[in-house]
Amino acid sequence: MSAKISVMISEEEIDKRVRELAAQISEDYAGESVHLICILKGSVMFTVDLAKRITVPVTLDFMKCSSYGDSTKSSGIVRIDKDTDESLEGKNVIVIEDIIDSGNTLYYLLEVLAQRNPKSLKLCTLLSKPDRRVKEVKVDYTGFIIEDNFVVGYGLDYAQKYRNLPYVGIVEDLDE
């Protein structure tokens, strides 16, 4: 049985916004290169689409953290499951996140990454739910600010499902 999902941000809207963010990043880092750190798994779609639109040289790395199980509430405990392969030393690092909710994950992660001597360290998120913030994190690039709804699609999951949807949507019958 499949749940009913209503579209919140369409494929076209996402594409338009990703191009705008990529243009902004390309302008901000003109004459330099950027090192994107994709936070697995939720940021995969966003990272690759963004990377394709950035016009300055791009390198990619991947990290995996967990603060969530299969529930929709943050546990507040952040664990690094997979660290980066490359050194951050002297690089213009941009952490690419799917969504910032409580802020717990990125608050912790940015502290850890700042210790590794990057030339610069910024944060780019597709989605942000500011009303849910527990820890303050400075977000440099935000795709969309959304209300406190649990969303799926375009990389985001509910119990590992729906990541492949080309749009961001709300699962209507989440509690079943």
Total binding residues for ligand IMP by CB under 6 A?
17
Reduce the secondary structure of the chain to three states and give it as a string: CCCCEEEEECHHHHHHHHHHHHHHHHHHCCCCCEEEEEEECCCHHHHHHHHHHCCCCEEEEEEEEECCCCCCCCCCCCEEEECCCCCCCCCEEEEEEEEECCCHHHHHHHHHHHCCCCCEEEEEEEEECHHHCCCCCCCCEEEEECCCCCEEECCECECCECCCCCCEEEECCCCC
**Range in contact with Mg ion (rule: CB under 5 A) among 24-32, 91-99, 110-118, 144-152:** 91-99
Task: Examine residue 42 and tell whether it contacts Mg ion (CB under 5 A).
Answer: yes
Determine, following the binding rule CB under 6 A, whether residue 100 of this chain makes contact with ligand IMP. yes
Number of residues that bind Mg ion (CB under 5 A): 2
Segment near Mg ion (CB under 5 A); pick from 9-17, 20-28, 95-103, 129-137: 95-103
Candidate list 24, 26, 74, 120; residue touching ligand IMP; CB under 6 A: 74
Residues 143-162 close enough to bind ligand IMP by CB under 6 A? 150-152, 156
Question: Considering beta carbons, is residue 77 or 114 the nearer one to ligand IMP?
Answer: 77
Q: Which is nearer to ligand IMP, 100 or 124 (CB)?
A: 100
Q: Which residues bind Mg ion (CB under 5 A)?
A: 42, 98
Q: Which residues bind ligand IMP (CB under 6 A)?
A: 42, 67-68, 74, 97-105, 150-152, 156
